[in-house]
Amino acid sequence: MGFPEVPQLNPGLDAITFMPADPLPSWNEGPTKQGILAFVARVTDETSPDFLPVAERIAVHDNDGTLWPENPMPFQAAFAIDELKRRIHVEPELTGDLMVQAALAGDLQELLKGDDFAGLMRILALTHAGMTTDDFRHAVESWLTTATHPRFGRPYDALTYQPMQELLDLLRAHDFKNFIVSGGGVDFMRVWVERVYGIPNEQVVGSVARTVFELRDDGPVLTKTLDHLFVNDREGKPVAIHHHIGRRPVVCCGNSDGDHAMLQYTTIKNPRPSMGILVHHTDDEREYAYDARTTSTGKLVEALKAAPERGWLVADMKQDWNTIFPNQ
C-alpha cells in the first residue's frame, strides 16, 4: 500500500480517511519510500515483536552527500578556500605558499597528495587552527551569510536535501534521536546544524582535533589546534559512534564507501531491527551524478554492491526524489 496524494485540507490528518498525511511528500512511491515507512511503523508499534524502546531509537546520518551536496567540492573546503582569499588581503606573503596556491586554484588533488596530507594539513592550519573556537564560529557564520554555491546560486545552507529533511522529521516525530556522523569538522558543523536540521550540537559527531583551555582576563577561552586530529571517516565512524553515543544505532544513512563501516555496524547481526539507507547520486540534471566513479572522493562502489545482500535501501536521487532542495 502507499500513502495516496490527496489535497491536504488539514495538515497532518487527511480529513476523509483519517490516515496520516504523507510524511515523505518529496519521495516518489516505490520500494525505498515504502521500506522507510514500513520500518518506522514496525519498530514504533508497541504490539510488534520488533518494537524498539525509545532509548534505542538512535539514527546516524552522514552529512556531505547525504544531507547536503558535496560538489563541486565539500562545502567546508569551499569555506577554507574563501577564508584563504580573505586572508591573503591581510597577509599577502601567503600567496608565495605553494599549498595556498593549490587551494586557491581549487586543486584538491594536489592538497591530498602524499600519505601525510601535508597540503591539506597546511590549509587546515591556516583556516581551522590557531584561533579561538568563538573566532572560528564567527568566521563560518560570516561565510554562510555571504557565500553562494557556484552552480545553484544559493547560500550553502539553503542546499540541504528536502527528502532527507522529511526523513529527519519523520524519525524525530517517532522519537528517534538523529545524530550527524560526518567527516566534516565538528566545529564547522555546529555553527549551523541546529538551525538547518533541528539537530542540537550535542548530537553532532565529526572530525575533531584537541582544543586548549585557558582562563584569560576576559574569560575562559578554547583555542583550536590540529593535535590528535581524528578523521571521522570509514572505520573511524563506528569508533566515533561508540565513543560519542555508546550504543549501536538502528538507522544509518550514508552516501559513500566512507559510510560503509557505519552501515555494517548498524545493520549486521544487530539484535535490534535496523535500517540502512544509501543516497545514490544519479541525477546530473538536478544535482550531480558522480558516485560510480572510482576516483571520486564520494565514491559509492563497495557499499552499493553490498546493498542487496545487506538489505540496505537505495535512494536513487533521479528516481526516488521528486524534489531536491527546499522551496524549489
Q: Give the nearer residue to a second copy in terms of CB position, either 69 or 236.
A: 236
235 is a contact residue toward a second copy (CB under 8 A): yes
How many Cβ atoms sit within 10 Å of the Cβ of residue 185?
24
> b vs e for 283-312, b when ≥16 Cβ sit within 10 Å of the residue's Cβ?
beeebbbbbeeeebbbbbeebbebbeebeb
Interaction of residue 245 with a second copy, rule CB under 8 A:
yes
Given a contact cutoff of 8 angstroms between Cβ atoms, the answer to whether 312 and 277 are in contact is yes
**Piece in contact with a second copy (CB under 8 A), picked from 94-102, 146-154, 212-220, 286-294:** 212-220
| Residues within window 68-107 making contact with a second copy, judged by CB under 8 A | none
Position 53 contacts a second copy (CB under 8 A): no
Pick from 95, 97, 126, 122: which is nearest to 111 by CA? 122
Q: State yes or no: residue 309 binds a second copy (CB under 8 A).
A: no
Q: Is 293 a residue that touches a second copy (CB under 8 A)?
A: no
Q: Using the rule CB under 8 A, which residue among 28, 34, 101, 133 binds a second copy?
A: 133
138 lines the binding site for a second copy (CB under 8 A): no
According to the binding rule CB under 8 A, does residue 204 interact with a second copy?
yes
Using CB under 8 A, pick the residue from 190, 280, 281, 299 that binds a second copy: 190
Return the amino acid letter for 7: P
**Residues touching a second copy: how many (CB under 8 A)?**
42
**Using CB under 8 A, which of the segments 112-120, 149-157, 230-238, 277-285 binds a second copy?**
230-238
- Can you tell me which of 59, 108, 164, 186 binds a second copy, judged by CB under 8 A? 186
Q: Is the backbone peptide bond immediately before 25 cis, with ω within 30 degrees of 0?
A: no
Residue 33 or 248 with smaller CB distance to a second copy: 248
The closest of 183, 167, 133, 150 to 78, measured between CA atoms, is 150
* 272 interacts with a second copy by CB under 8 A: no
DSSP 165-210: HHHHHHHHHTTPEEEEEEEEEHHHHTTTHHHHH---GGGEEEEB--
Beta-strand pair 275-280/219-224: unpaired
Q: Is 239 in the site for a second copy (CB under 8 A)?
A: yes
The reply on whether position 269 binds a second copy by CB under 8 A is yes
Write the CA distances from 244 to 180, 200, 215, integer angstroms: 11, 14, 26
CB 259 within 8 A of CB 237: yes
User: Smallest distance, Å, CB 90 to a second copy?
Assistant: 27
> For the chain, what's the residue count?
328
Q: Nine-digit cell at 145? A: 551569510
Phi, psi dihedral angles at 220 (to 5 degrees): -75, 145
Stretch that binds a second copy, among 21-29, 60-68, 186-194, 294-302 (CB under 8 A): 186-194
Residues that bind a second copy (CB under 8 A): 55, 58, 133, 177, 179, 186-187, 190, 194, 200-204, 208, 210-213, 215, 218-220, 222, 228, 230, 235-236, 238-239, 242-247, 261, 264-265, 268-270
